[in-house]
Amino acid sequence: MDGEFALIRQFFTRPTPRAVLGVGDDCALLQPAPGMHLAISSDMLVNGRHFFDDAEPQALGHKALAVNLSDLAACGAKPLAFTLALALPQADPLWLGPFSRGLFALADAHGCELIGGDTTRGPLNICITVFGEMPAGQALLRSGAQAGDDIYVSGALGEASLALAQLLHERDTASEAKKPQVPLAPEAYACALARLHQPTPRVALGQALRGVASAAADISDGLLADLGHILERSAVGATVHTACLPALPPAYGAAHPLPAQLLRHALAGGDDYELVFTAPPAQARAVQAAAQASHTPVTRIGHIDAQPGLRLLDGQGQAVTGEFGGFDHFA
């Protein structure tokens, strides 16, 4: 791409004091500390699939890194560095400026250095690979849940999905416009859009849960889908009490327990980037301590069963069935 090196120098080259070598050579160099494992994860954002053509570049810079940091959080890793592979339709400084500002604001907040990447001309596509570390043997895995463990989620669920539904409705996207809507008041919509466009990866909570949680995953595809990954990898089942799902923030003015039309978003909506994790009941106090230390609310929503499958129960202990896309998958 024309001016590729000038572009990299101007927008993507910053001091990298923690890396042995950053941007500019054929490879970057990292020195893992003795006794630490490297945790590595990649996530790609594709124009038209993960964001709209006119997506705000600063928010996109934030989100591209946030979804990757969320994977590190789910493993209990501390962020170290990342690479950025970028396909751009053109080298537009009015796009690259805010994109790199959004990216580096989040990177700096987590002490995560941009150490390399690739830049090419093409339809807008952003692929980040993150590197983190944790003491050897202490990674939180999807495979560690055991019958009797409690199930927890961080934060609140369904906000990003509510925002997306309203956004698609406004844009009159043919297939989505017909779906039932939960019209949001302006304050709630602003809140929900911020969650959709600038998610908060639960990095501090993930690290605080090392040695406490038995299994963890981040919620990118919806609670049921991502808890489903834990159940599958751990060869266990679960019971989730829908009345225990976290309340939405006050801006939504929503009832608690969540009414059915909000439940759908909380259970099956993606893009929240909260953590779902399990811990033995004996660790309940340690879970609360981790939540407090990381300033992240945490809610117990159910427990792990030896019996396979996922059971959803309402406040009266009755099975909740039907209306949740993807839920039958666990039957």
In the bound state with Mg ion, the residue whose beta carbon lies nearer, of 118 and 187, is 118
Strands of the 78-88 sheet, one edge to the other: 36-46, 125-135, 78-88, 113-121
> b/e map of 292-324 (b: 16 or more CB within 10 Å)?
eebebebbbbbbbbeeeebbbbeeeeeebeeeb
Q: What are phi and psi of 213, to 5 degrees?
A: -75, 150
Q: If DSSP codes are grouped into helix, strand and coil, which group holds residue 317?
A: coil
Tell me the closest approach of the beta carbon of residue 16 to Mg ion, in angstroms: 18
Contact call for residue 2 and ligand ADP (CB under 6 A) = no
Contact call for residue 131 and ligand ADP (CB under 6 A) = no
In the chain, the DSSP E strands lie at: 36-46, 78-88, 113-121, 125-135, 150-154, 215-219, 237-241, 274-279, 298-305, 309-313
Q: Which of 57, 61, 79, 116 binds ligand ADP (CB under 6 A)?
A: 116
Tell me the closest approach of the beta carbon of residue 116 to Mg ion, in angstroms: 9
Tell me the closest approach of the beta carbon of residue 38 to ligand ADP, in angstroms: 18
Residues numbered 83-122 forming contacts with Mg ion, rule: CB under 5 A: 118
Q: For residue 135, give both structure tokens.
A: 């003491």
Contact call for residue 102 and ligand ADP (CB under 6 A) = no
Tell me the closest approach of the beta carbon of residue 123 to Mg ion, in angstroms: 18
Contact call for residue 230 and ligand ADP (CB under 6 A) = no
Side chain identity at 116, as an amino acid letter? G
Task: Kindly report the length of the chain.
Answer: 331
Contact call for residue 117 and ligand ADP (CB under 6 A) = yes
Tell me the closest approach of the beta carbon of residue 206 to ligand ADP, in angstroms: 25
Contact residues for Mg ion, defined by CB under 5 A:
118
Q: Which residues bind ligand ADP (CB under 6 A)?
A: 8, 12, 23-26, 84, 86, 114, 116-119
